[in-house]
Amino acid sequence: MVTQQRRHDTITQNIVNLNTAGYKQTDSILRSFPEVLVSMIGGEPDNPNRTVGKLNTGVFAEESMAMYTQGDLRETGQATDFALVSELGLTDPATGRNIPFDASGKYVDDNGEIMYRPQAFFTVQDENGQVRYTRNGEFRVSPTGNLMTSTGYQVLDADNAPIVLTGAAGNFTVNEQGQIVDEAGNLTGAALGISVVDRPYELVREGSGVFSPG
């Protein structure tokens, strides 16, 4: 019952966050306890009817894993809203061919080894100065020109420095290289910091669409 309750809570969390920008659904990984062999007490050891059968001692929710499938993109009309399309490839060193990940970004080779597709994230900084990752691109500009996430995290540039838009606050675009351009078409010297995480399954979910390195 406890396991099913946890599974139900995970499903409910996914449904509630269907329209949350940058949210990644989670799946509950269930494991069973070892089976035990039930035998009759007493009787002759060589009696073929002495063994009653196997008994399953239950299951438990071992962990919840985030699924980094590509979410739907939505046009908001806001200059400070961004989205990432992360479909990065990975080459099999043994064959030199691209690894055929499934829709969930997972691949199991012939030896049973599991590999996951690398994922790209916006690089942000929490109130303690720690680097964090998010796919939620609903940004805003503070009164001091700092580019912030909707939850108050500082957005970092390609050098992991806070992005401050002194001359382009609220009136800027981003080119194909991720560089921020002011309304006059001039480069501001800042570029959105995009981090590629090779092992996304090791990230730790902190809430509000933010992940920390595992």
143-160 pLDDT, tens digit each: 888 899 988 999 999 888
Contacts of 89 (CB under 8 A, 6+ apart): 98, 99, 117
> How many Å apart are CA 175 and CA 180, to the nearest integer?
7
175-188 pLDDT, tens digit each: 877 888 877 777 77
8 A C-beta contact, residue 81 and residue 139 = yes
> How many Å apart are CA 186 and CA 159, to the nearest integer?
20
Q: Which phi-psi region, left, alpha or beta, contains residue 99 (left: φ > 0; alpha: ψ -120 to 50)?
A: beta
